[in-house]
């Protein structure tokens, strides 16, 4: 409950929500016994339901909520939309975009290195919500058997551990059938005997000779702090540092973080750092997409070189790509977006549409000259451009109108990929369409090579 909320008699007064754009707030505290999530008692999750907001308002709301939560001393926060959180959890098990895993064997070393890495990440431009996974110490009861006393009383260490486990955790000794239901029967100490830690040492244990010996005569019993969770990855212990990125692209942030960590945080033998999460997944996806696009582009280039009558005509078709690239980059810069997987997919799609329009124009020029027997000159170039004006404009309009809603709401939740994609395609279509209709006919008239079939033969 927010500070300042009061009680009136036995009826609780509902706390006032300070932010006007927040509809409701719900908290998840604790965890179910058989739940999938394994947070400790030091973690809690708040679900904040926002009123309908546009992209800029939603970004401002997330920033204000994050700053408000971070103002509480000793509290580490991570503020994400539902979709982003689920994607990040699927990729790395964490809710942040950048996940740094320090892998090794010594837990104390891992904790120290994680703190050093978190300090470095916090000093990099664009880093927000930098959190080192807390190593919360919980009270545990340690029972250390004394070998001399165990041997003197004729006990076996394994049998002693089984007896203690049976007394305090229980052991299934049988089953009871009631109709179609089967119930396990367990034996363990009565609740009153298990309630006090001071009574653990009084637990009587019988040896093979029938002599009863108290547990404190065989072992040293003490309450010690211990870890409630030890994370593992690939059968090795791991400590995790997470961070979100704001105001810059994730790829450049990760590259700078790798350089700084390698220079400032020396790792002992057997301990190393690896980057995972959305940043690593985006880098892999971008690399695969570029490789596959390059292979597809090479195949398209070979096919066009076979179809086109002259190499100059092939260059005219490819000339539209640079101007489309410039238009897409300008659109990204004007809207303030950063490089992401959505922008890469947008450029690939944009190049496909641009090539189609160029091929449509150049192939029509070849048709006019080779099939209809026109003489190549200004009149033919103007006529071909006029006849291809309608299909090129319709292609651009249909694509632009379909993507315009995504581009306008690119900052809204759920459009983290489609929004940048739409912006890139719209910007590139604008410049490439102008090139097709205004510049390409002039360049084709000057550099194109079109001749009737009998002349080609």
For the ranges 29-33, 168-172, 173-177, 440-444, the lowest mean pLDDT is seen at 29-33
Is residue 242 within 8 Å of 94, Cβ to Cβ?
yes
Q: Is residue 87 part of a domain?
A: no
Q: What is the pLDDT of residue 176?
A: 92
Q: How far is CA 114 from the centre of its chain?
A: 20
Q: What is the pLDDT of residue 63?
A: 78
- pLDDT of 6 strictly over 50: no
Q: 133-142, 317-326, 420-429: which has the highest mean pLDDT?
A: 420-429
Q: How far apart are CA 64 and CA 23, in angstroms?
A: 15
End-to-end CA distance of the chain: 87
> The CATH number of the domain where 380 resides is what?
1.20.1640.10
User: Are 212 and 315 contained in the same domain?
Assistant: no
3-state secondary structure of 362: helix
Which among 380, 385, 374, 379 has a CA at the least distance from the CA of 439? 385
The residue ranking higher by pLDDT, 428 or 29, is 428
User: Are 318 and 436 contained in the same domain?
Assistant: yes
Q: What is the pLDDT of residue 249?
A: 76
- Token digits of residue 123: 């000093």
**177: pLDDT confidence band, cut at 50, 70 and 90?**
very high
Q: Is residue 45 part of a domain?
A: no
Q: Is residue 49 part of a domain?
A: no
Query: Over the chain, what is the mean pLDDT?
Result: 80
Which among 27, 59, 62, 19 has a CA at the least distance from the CA of 46? 27
User: Are 206 and 337 contained in the same domain?
Assistant: no
Q: Is residue 414 part of a domain?
A: yes
The residue ranking higher by pLDDT, 284 or 120, is 120
- pLDDT of 101 strictly over 70: yes
Q: What is the pLDDT of residue 231?
A: 81
Give percent above pLDDT 70 in the chain: 86
Is residue 250 within 8 Å of 279, Cβ to Cβ?
yes
Alpha helices in 308-417 (DSSP H): 311-318, 320-335, 341-366, 378-387, 389-408
Q: Is residue 162 part of a domain?
A: yes
Q: Is residue 437 part of a domain?
A: yes
Q: What is the pLDDT of residue 309?
A: 66
Q: Is residue 156 part of a domain?
A: yes
The residue ranking higher by pLDDT, 219 or 33, is 219
The residue ranking higher by pLDDT, 32 or 223, is 223
- pLDDT of 8 strictly over 50: no
Q: What is the pLDDT of residue 3?
A: 36
| Domain boundary pick from 191, 226, 261 | 226
Alpha helices in 199-319 (DSSP H): 250-264, 278-307, 311-318
**7: pLDDT confidence band, cut at 50, 70 and 90?**
very low
Instruction: Give the residue-averaged pLDDT of 32-40.
Output: 64
> The CATH number of the domain where 161 resides is what?
3.30.2090.10
**4: pLDDT confidence band, cut at 50, 70 and 90?**
very low
User: Are 209 and 316 contained in the same domain?
Assistant: no
Instruction: Give the residue-averaged pLDDT of 182-194.
Output: 87
- pLDDT of 43 strictly over 60: yes
Q: What is the pLDDT of residue 182?
A: 92
Q: What is the pLDDT of residue 455?
A: 47
| Domain boundary pick from 171, 203, 226 | 226
User: Are 319 and 424 contained in the same domain?
Assistant: yes
- Token digits of residue 338: 């950063």
Q: How far apart are CA 241 and CA 131, in angstroms?
A: 6
pLDDT in tens, 368-401: 888 787 788 888 888 888 888 888 888 888 888 8
Q: What is the pLDDT of residue 384?
A: 82
Instruction: Give the residue-averaged pLDDT of 112-136.
Output: 84
Helices and strands (DSSP H and E) totals, the chain: 16, 15
Domain of residue 390 covers 308-456
Q: 43-47, 114-118, 304-308: which has the highest mean pLDDT?
A: 114-118
Per the structure, the count of domains in the chain is 2
| Domain boundary pick from 226, 257, 290 | 226
Which among 90, 131, 140 has a CA at the least distance from the CA of 243? 131
Q: How far apart are CA 98 and CA 88, in angstroms?
A: 9
pLDDT in tens, 193-238: 888 888 888 889 988 888 899 998 999 988 888 777 788 877 788 8
- pLDDT of 280 strictly over 80: no
Q: Is residue 389 part of a domain?
A: yes
Q: How far apart are CA 317 and CA 324, in angstroms?
A: 12
- pLDDT of 9 strictly over 60: no
- Token digits of residue 277: 């999460």
Instruction: Give the residue-averaged pLDDT of 294-315.
Output: 80
**14: pLDDT confidence band, cut at 50, 70 and 90?**
low
Q: What is the pLDDT of residue 5?
A: 36
User: Are 211 and 312 contained in the same domain?
Assistant: no
């Amino acid at each position: 409950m927010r500070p300042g909320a009061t009680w009136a008699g036995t009826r609780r007064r509902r706390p006032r929500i300070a932010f006007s754009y927040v509809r409701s707030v719900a908290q998840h505290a604790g965890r179910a016994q058989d739940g999938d999530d394994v947070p400790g008692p030091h973690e809690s999750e708040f679900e904040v339901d926002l009123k309908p907001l546009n992209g800029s308002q939603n970004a401002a709301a997330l920033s204000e909520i994050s700053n408000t939560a971070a103002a509480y001393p000793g509290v580490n926060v991570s503020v994400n939309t539902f979709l982003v959180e689920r994607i990040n959890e699927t990729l790395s098990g964490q809710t942040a975009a950048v996940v740094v895993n320090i892998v090794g064997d010594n837990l104390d070393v891992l904790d120290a290195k994680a703190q050093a890495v978190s300090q470095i990440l916090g000093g990099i431009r664009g880093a927000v919500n930098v959190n080192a996974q807390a190593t919360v110490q919980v009270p545990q009861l340690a029972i250390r058997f004394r070998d001399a006393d165990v041997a003197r009383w004729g006990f076996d260490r394994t049998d002693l551990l089984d007896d203690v486990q049976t007394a305090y955790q229980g052991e299934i000794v049988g089953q009871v059938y009631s109709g179609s239901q089967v119930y396990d029967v367990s034996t363990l100490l009565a609740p009153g005997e298990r309630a006090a830690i001071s009574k653990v040492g009084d637990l009587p244990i019988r040896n093979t000779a029938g002599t009863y010996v108290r547990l404190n005569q065989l072992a040293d019993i003490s309450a010690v702090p211990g870890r409630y969770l030890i994370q593992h990855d690939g059968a090795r212990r791991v400590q995790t540092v997470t961070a979100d990125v704001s105001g810059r692209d994730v790829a450049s942030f990760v590259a700078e973080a790798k350089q700084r960590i390698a220079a400032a945080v020396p790792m002992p033998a057997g301990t190393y750092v690896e980057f995972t999460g959305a940043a690593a997944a985006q880098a892999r996806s971008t690399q695969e997409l570029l490789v596959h696009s390059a292979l597809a582009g090479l195949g398209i280039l070979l096919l066009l070189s076979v179809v086109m009558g002259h190499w100059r005509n092939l260059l005219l078709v490819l000339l539209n790509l640079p101007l489309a690239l410039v238009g897409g980059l300008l659109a990204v810069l004007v809207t303030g977006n950063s490089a992401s997987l959505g922008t890469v997919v947008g450029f690939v799609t944009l190049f496909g549409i641009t090539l189609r329009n160029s091929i449509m124009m150049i192939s029509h020029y070849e048709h006019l000259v080779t099939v209809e027997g026109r003489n190549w000159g200004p009149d033919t170039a103007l006529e071909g451009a006029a006849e291809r004006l309608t299909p090129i404009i319709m292609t651009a309009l249909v694509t632009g109108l379909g993507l315009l809603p995504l581009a306008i709401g690119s900052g809204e939740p759920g459009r983290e990929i489609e929004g940048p994609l739409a912006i890139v395609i719209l910007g590139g279509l604008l410049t490439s369409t102008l090139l097709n209709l205004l510049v390409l006919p002039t360049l084709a008239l000057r550099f194109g090579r079109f001749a009737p079939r009998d002349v080609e033969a």
